[in-house]
Amino acid sequence: MDDADLLRYSRQIMLPDVDMAGQEALSRARILIVGLGGLGSPAALYLAASGVGTLVLADDDQVDLTNLQRQILHGTPDLDRPKAESARDRLHALNPAPRIELIQERLDGDRLHEAVAAADVVLDGTDNFETRFAVNAACVATGTPLVSGAAIRLEGQLGVFRPDLEDGPCYACLFPPDADTPQETCSETGVLGPVVGVIGSLQATEAIRLITGFGTPATGRFTLWDARTGEWRSFTVERDPACQVCGRRG
């Protein structure tokens, strides 16, 4: 790092939990963010600001006026632009150092597997179970840590899943793909903007923890936040030996 980098990241480097070693680890890291909406926006901003070396941004959607109440990567001049391109420009305006790669297509099949396998950490900021299940399956197949976020109405969820660890559960251990889970979306029920901001920021924090290694490993930890009461609940997800996705692993 040059003098400008040392100054830019100085408040982070002075933390004993990060230090120079952690900052250098961030500069070498490659993080895949799937979804550049309400969750992916704050996550991407904080990861770019923190000095992550490579950010891979995956989104095939365009910026819509209804997005701007919560998707802070994008602004009014970005209406009808591809979200991936809008996000790239905003992140480079914040910090020109990270390498930013764009995937402007719906990730699935071999393309999803390749993108996940190349990443050190995957952040899932999507709003539908089909994509979440596919991302989780790819993370299990490649042994890539997954930080999953979700938010709807006044409620947020955060999960950290470690298929790279022998006993690490996966997203499907908690939400089996064949379960009759309600398929609600923000467009149908609404969401408060700061709720996705909180959860997306926590996703960035967990990604940084995974890369730098500080704190207690968050293996299978799932957290719920109710903005109506301000209450947090957290529990640990155990690996399900009968899980359809990871039960055959190991």
Catalogue the active-site residues: 186
What gap in Å lies between CA 193 and CA 244, rounded to an integer?
Answer: 34
What gap in Å lies between CA 73 and CA 211, rounded to an integer?
Answer: 23
Give the three-class secondary structure for 210.
helix
Which strands sit side by side in the sheet containing 99-103, from one edge to the other? 99-103, 54-58, 30-34, 121-124, 146-152, 155-161, 221-226, 231-236
Q: Where are the beta strands (DSSP E) in 164-236?
A: 221-226, 231-236
In the chain, the largest separation of any two C-alpha atoms, in whole Å, equals 55
What gap in Å lies between CA 96 and CA 55, rounded to an integer?
Answer: 12
Does residue 50 contact residue 80 with C-beta atoms inside 8 Å? no
